[in-house]
Structure formats: C-alpha cells, structure tokens
C-alpha cells in the first residue's frame, strides 16, 4: 500500500511540473501576454498541490527506502535531493517572481531570463522524476532490466 501511495504522490508531482512546463512553453509560443500572465498565476496557485505532493513523495520514498538497500535506491535518493534543491532554490522563487512581474506587465529581458532558467530547471526535474519513476517500477518488479547483448555474447 505504501508503495502505491508513493507512486501516486510521485505521479501527481510529475504531472504538475510537466503541466507547468508545457503551459509556459505553449502560452509563450502561441498566446498573448494576458495568457502568459494567467499561466504564471495559475502555476503559482498550483504550488499548493505540487509542494504537498513532493513532500509526500519524499517522505514515503524515505520510508520505503529504510527497508531496502541497493544501487537503485541510492540513485533515486540522490536524484530526489537534486529535485528538491532545484524546486526550492530555483522553481518556487521563479514562479513567485514571474507571477509578480507578469501581473505588473513587466515582460523585459529579466523576465525572460528567469523564465529561461525556470524552463531549464523544470526540464531537469521532469527528467529526474521520470528516471525515478522508471527505477521505482523496476524496484517494484513491474519493469524488467534488459540485459544488453554485445557481439552475440550470451
């Protein structure tokens, strides 16, 4: 049961970050500044879902890891430290600043520099969370590790 909750929390967190990232990219590419402002404010509001989901993912993952050892568990824990630091030090402050600046109509080079940083940090977190999901499925036995065969070796 704990593993299913962990997976659910992680999926919610990943879905939030991916939705924020895609919404930002699409609004910037195809819509007006009013839409960009709405997206930035929605992302800031969405932190009320993302932050608890990330905390629950980390807490349940820590609890699950206490009963297991191994390379995959260690790699997942290292990735989560990067995800957490990236979220707290880059993504959360960026969301706040960008929503404030967008609401004030401040779409200058600083806005786009912070947004570029936010998009890169978001892509990093999406990648790390997808890798953690894959490794979690492997740990749970839902994905088999494929052995590579080179030069016909058996």
Evaluate whether residue 42 is within a structural domain. Answer: yes
Evaluate whether residue 151 is within a structural domain. Answer: no
Evaluate whether residue 148 is within a structural domain. Answer: no
pTM of the entire predicted model: 0.88
Whole-angstrom distance between the N-terminal and C-terminal Cα of the chain?
38
DSSP 108: S
Helix and strand counts by DSSP (H, E) for the chain = 5, 0
Evaluate whether residue 147 is within a structural domain. Answer: no
Buried b (16+ CB within 10 A) or exposed e, 45-65: ebbeebeebbebbbebbeebb
- How many domains are there within the chain? 1
* Domain range for 87: 2-139
Residues 6 or more apart whose CB falls under 8 angstroms from that of 74 comprise none
Model confidence over 76-95: pLDDT tens digits? Answer: 999 999 999 999 999 999 99
Model confidence over 48-73: pLDDT tens digits? Answer: 999 999 999 999 988 888 877 888 88
Q: What CATH number should be reported for the domain holding residue 64? A: 1.20.120
Evaluate whether residue 126 is within a structural domain. Answer: yes
The set of long-range contacts for 110-118, using a CB threshold of 8 Å and a minimum separation of 24, is 115/24, 115/28, 117/90, 118/24, 118/90, 118/91, 118/94
Evaluate whether residue 64 is within a structural domain. Answer: yes
Quickly state the pLDDT bin for 97 (edges 50, 70, 90). Answer: very high
Can you state the angle between helices 109-139 and 92-103, rounded to 10 degrees?
140
């Amino acid at each position: 049961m704990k593993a299913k909750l962990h997976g659910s929390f992680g999926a919610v967190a990943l879905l939030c970050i991916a939705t924020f990232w895609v919404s930002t990219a699409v609004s910037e590419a195809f819509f007006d500044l009013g839409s960009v402002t709405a997206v930035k404010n929605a992302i800031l509001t969405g932190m009320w879902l993302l932050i608890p989901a990330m905390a629950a993912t980390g807490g349940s993952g820590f609890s699950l890891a206490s009963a297991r050892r191994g390379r995959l568990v260690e790699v997942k824990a290292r990735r989560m430290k990067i995800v957490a630091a990236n979220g707290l030090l880059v993504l959360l402050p960026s969301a706040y600043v960008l929503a404030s600046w967008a609401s004030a109509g401040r779409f200058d080079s600083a806005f786009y520099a912070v947004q570029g940083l936010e998009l890169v940090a978001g892509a990093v977190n999406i990648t790390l969370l997808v890798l953690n999901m894959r490794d979690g499925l492997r740990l749970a036995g839902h994905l088999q590790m494929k052995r590579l065969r080179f030069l016909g070796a058996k």
